[in-house]
Chains A and B, each alone.
Chain A
Amino acid sequence: MPRHPPAPVSQAIQIRGLRYRYPDGTQALNGIDFHLDAGESVALFGANGSGKTTFVLHLNGLLRGEGSIEICGLPLADETLEQIRSKVGVVFQDSDEQLFMPTVLEDVAFGPLNLGLSPADALTRARTVLKRVGMAHALDRAPYHLSAGEKKRVAIAGVLAMDPEILVLDEPTTFLDPPTRRDLVTLLRSLPQSKVVVTHDANLARTLTTRAVFFDQGQITGEGDVIEVIQRFHWEYS
């Protein structure tokens, strides 16, 4: 396999030749080359089953395929997995899968505690990010009792509490009503991290990102300015 020079640190993500096949034989990713600059936000478009979610699960080592992945200059390997998971925060499409602790505060503190923070520091950090996402009133509530918009905010807080450098958002506005969606977009725009946004929503992509890549059958078939990609692939509902 050819050796590549390490990515400059100003690159948040550098991926070369990523391939992944599921155990049932489905070739989900077939030679993906991708990069994300520090501070940049990019949208991932593509039909259902085109490989977008499989791709983002590779960004913090939840899936491991062939090819090379570098996150903030660190090659993804067993020894760097812990560091990389603290740098890449993934907000999953279904918040119910992300919120698993008995209370909102404990759920948000889950990540910082795993990072090795003391319980007092982890709880302080959890309170701070919950305040930032507008959920300071729900510290002791059970996550299952929250509305869809509140769950999404808490899920984002859980990831922000780990102080990541890159945010990966998988369909962040699914199941949200228009006012909640607007509030969430405002919140996401205020976050300084580099972002990878998986979405079918062209408006959301235009608001949050400047660049887009288009997935088709496990390959990137188009890439460029977000508006240009939307027009080229007719990626709008009407």
Chain B
Amino acid sequence: MHHLVIDRWSRGSSPLHQRDPRAKLAALLVFLIALSTTPPAAQAAFVAYAILLIVAANLARLPIRGLAGRAALVLPFSATFALLTWWSGDSLRALGLAEKSFLSGMAALLLVGTTPLTGWTAALESWHAPRMLILVIQFVYRYLFVIAEQAQRMRWAALSRRGSRKRSRRVSFQFSAAAGLVGVLFARSWQRADGIYHAMLARGFRGRFVPAAPPPFQTSDALFFSACLAGCLAIRLLL
């Protein structure tokens, strides 16, 4: 299924995939801090950040277009604020806002595209992030797949009963059908999620995912983080 793409990416074997999740998470934080504190006028810095991400994506053997397309999904959310800023007369700031949200999305995707979920949540846990936050991330991740799978099955069922007519003439009919689908999707997803939770309890789940194999932190991980830190600092301070 299409929504499994990122999950499949995260199972790669590139040098970036092999780095310790803690090193990658720390590198992401450094990148985000540097990016968010970069003034909008420093357009050369944004180009440099983008080049840094492209180099990392190449190193991870991930498709740049696929990454960029998915990172662009954050733009509608930031577009509202960017447009308001634009109308208030600060076009450079508006541009910077859109650039920052897009590059942040791409950097986060690089992390999840090169680290399995259990890896980066274990990294969060080792940093003593709130357990409830980690649990919510893990459940959301799992249940998003559940909802997507359910939605795909229902879409196929709907398509198989649509007949030869490509579009119904009545918009109101289309709307009511879509609304019905959303309602049924919610009910079915809830039922399925409940089943998964039961299966977890049956195997001794006590409110915490126990990491299977805490990865050792190696010299190469420290070197990787140092390189990321140096790159981000250089861009932030020199450009």
Contact = CB atoms under 8 A, between A and B. Distances in A.
Interface of A: 57, 60, 62, 82, 85-86, 89-90, 92, 94, 96-98, 100-103, 105-106, 109-111, 113-115, 119-120, 122-123, 140, 142, 144, 158-159, 162
Nearest to B213: A119
B192 A82 contact: no
A103 B192 CA distance: 20
23 contacts: A62-B201, A82-B206, A86-B204, A89-B202, A92-B198, A96-B192, A98-B196, A101-B118, A102-B7, A102-B10, A102-B11, A110-B200, A110-B203, A111-B203, A114-B203, A114-B205, A114-B206, A114-B210, A119-B212, A140-B11, A142-B7, A144-B1, A162-B203
B212 A85 contact: no
B195 A159 contact: no
Chain B CB within 10 Å — which of A86, A100, A109, A123 has the most? A100
Contact of A85 (B4, B118, B195, B204): B204
Given A92-B195, A158-B203, 15 more contacts: A62-B202, A82-B204, A85-B201, A96-B149, A98-B199, A102-B10, A102-B116, A102-B117, A106-B118, A113-B210, A114-B205, A114-B210, A119-B212, A122-B212, A162-B204
A107 B3 CA distance: 20
A101 B202 CA distance: 15
Interface residues of B, number: 29
Interface in B188-224: 192, 195-196, 198-206, 210-214
Contacts of A114: 203-206, 210
Contact of B212 (A60, A123, A159): A123
B199 A102 contact: no
Interface string B175-192: 000000000000000001
Per DSSP, chain B at the interface is helix
A230 B214 CA distance: 52
Contact of B214 (A97, A100, A119): A119
Interface string B132-147: 0000000000100100
B204 A115 contact: yes
A57 B198 contact: yes
A124 B239 CA distance: 51
Contact of B202 (A60, A122, A142): A60
Interface of B: 1, 4, 7-8, 10-11, 116-118, 142, 145, 149, 192, 195-196, 198-206, 210-214
B101 to A, nearest CB: 28
A154 to B, nearest CB: 12
B200 A100 contact: yes
B1 to A, nearest CB: 7
B204 A97 contact: no
A120 B210 CA distance: 12
A111 B202 CA distance: 9
A122 B212 CA distance: 8
Task: Identify the interface centre among B117, B198, B203: most chain A CB within 10 Å of its CB.
Answer: B203
